[in-house]
Structure 1
Amino acid sequence: MEMSDLRKVDPVKHEQKRGEILGAAIRCFIRDGFRGASTTDICTEAGISPGHLYHYFPSKEAIIEAMIDLGLARSAERFEKILAAPDVIEALLVDIEETSLRFRPAQILNLDGLAEAARNPEFAKIIERHTAAVRAMWADFLRRAQDQGRVDSGLDPDATANILIALIDGSRAMPIRNPKLDIGRNVEHLRTMLVRFLRPPETESAARKPRPQGTSRPLKLVRKR
């Protein structure tokens, strides 16, 4: 067989098909969970045969890994967008509201992923890798924001990253724990918490403090002409 007879793989179409399969897999994971969704289910959802699937992903674990890499890439884009905003804390709050408090797929996948990691050592390794990457992104984001004077420089970026990851996990659990959750009201309280936690101390707060009673403002010297 001549080389010209071999079917060439179009990289653009290949990536497009991988994206379609990932989309189908995510729908299956949301519907049936990471444990419940099989490769057969994913193939049915994607409209392909099992043999065709293995041209793109060798296993369900490979699909999950690719899904995580896609999520990390999108997270990196969001961090850049937040850093470019006039107010990083406000932009961060908006991101948490949109991607956690109001985004049901993230809520389901996040909680189901943690549950599966608790009982499946191999899946736990995937979650550990994902968490390490997310933690590194948070820490880098915080350091850059500190360098810009927009986040308290006294905070340890790595420890703060852990706290914020826990906050994200908690935010995604809230609407599931309470379907009648008043998201707007909770966002306002979350804003207060983030501002108090992350915002740099006011450098001129001492100058704005009220003077004790009985004290007077220093007199200005007026030069006589």
Structure 2
Amino acid sequence: MRKVDPVKHEQKRREILQAALSCFVRSGFHGASTTDICAAAKISPGHLYHYFPSKEAMIQALVEMNLSHAAARLQAVLAAPDVIDALVHELENTSLHQPQAQMLSTEALAEACRNPDFAAIVHAQTCAMRTLLVEFLVQAQQRGEVDAGLDPEATANLLLAIVDGARALPIRNPAVDIPASSAHLRIMLRRFLAPPSATRHTAAHT
């Protein structure tokens, strides 16, 4: 049996996932076939199954990559001088300014409504993302940068809803003013998340 080079294996795995992602953006999770993905990745179906046993396995791998990236980004937000401003900037970059995320997020929710197996993936991803946000909020509260009176679990749920809404906004209204929406998103989240003393201080200087 030929020995597998782990570096090359991982590189090819990522190339396949990127090809799958482009197919999902173009055709949707249901519409994209493994044949389409193989063509995009320039591999045969037999070769594909050395890396992923199914389309669902590729979706799961993409979810895991996204969660890993999200965890790293939230740590970067915590390291910023202004946590709330950095969080808003992160939401803007991953929602209002990210057409790919807008399409995939909407498609994922729609597919979850009609496909129980896909719904399980979405629910697990949401649970993991909520856990990351709760941990982030607790750390920010302990540092006095987020209102300690907010319930982290409920706040995480609302932040997830805000992300979904921000991603849907350009789809609902292609002519939406993105800079104005970003500015209002910043005002809304600062009023919601900032400790009361910080909110009063900001109001006194406006």
Q: Same fold (TM over 0.5)?
A: yes
User: 1:152–1:8: structure 2 CA closer, same or farther, 3 Å change rule?
Assistant: same
**How far does the alpha carbon of each residue in 1:183-224 deviate from its partner, in whole angstroms, 9 at most, with x for none?**
111111111110110000117959x99xxxxxxxxxxxxxxx
User: 1:11–1:165: structure 2 CA closer, same or farther, 3 Å change rule?
Assistant: same
Quote the residue 2:115 is aligned against: 120
Distance 1:44 1:77 in 2: 32
**How far does the alpha carbon of each residue in 1:60-110 deviate from its partner, in whole angstroms, 9 at most, with x for none?**
000000000000001011101100000011101111111100101000000
Distance 1:32 1:67 in 2: 16
Q: Normalised by the size of structure 1, how large is the TM-score?
A: 0.88
Distance 2:182 2:46 in 1: 47
Aligned to 1:50, which of 26, 30, 45? 45
Deviation, 1:127, is: 0.3
SS of residue in 2 equivalent to 1:202: helix
- Of structures 1 and 2, the larger Rg is shown by 1
Q: Structure 1 vs Structure 2: percent identity of aligned residues?
A: 58
Distance 1:42 1:185 in 2: 38
Structure 2 residue runs of 5 or longer lacking an equivalent are none
Equivalenced residue count is: 203
Distance 1:176 1:32 in 2: 16
Quote the residue 1:170 is aligned against: 165
Give, as a single letter, the amino acid of the residue that structure 2 aligns with 1:175.
P
User: 1:203–1:133: structure 2 CA closer, same or farther, 3 Å change rule?
Assistant: closer
User: 1:189–1:203: structure 2 CA closer, same or farther, 3 Å change rule?
Assistant: closer
Quote the residue 1:129 is aligned against: 124
Give, as a single letter, the amino acid of the residue that structure 2 aligns with 1:92.
L
**How far does the alpha carbon of each residue in 1:167-195 deviate from its partner, in whole angstroms, 9 at most, with x for none?**
00000000111111111111111111101
Aligned to 1:83, which of 78, 81, 94? 78
Larger helix share, 1 or 2: 2
Quote the residue 1:60 is aligned against: 55
**Pairwise CA RMSD:** 1.6
User: 1:165–1:204: structure 2 CA closer, same or farther, 3 Å change rule?
Assistant: closer
Deviation, 1:166, is: 0.1
Distance 1:191 1:43 in 2: 42
Q: Normalised by the size of structure 2, how large is the TM-score?
A: 0.96
Structure 1 residue runs of 5 or longer lacking an equivalent are 1-5, 210-225
Report runs of 4+ in structure 1 exceeding 2 Å deviation.
203-206
Distance 1:204 1:34 in 2: 43
Quote the residue 1:18 is aligned against: 13
Distance 1:135 1:111 in 2: 18
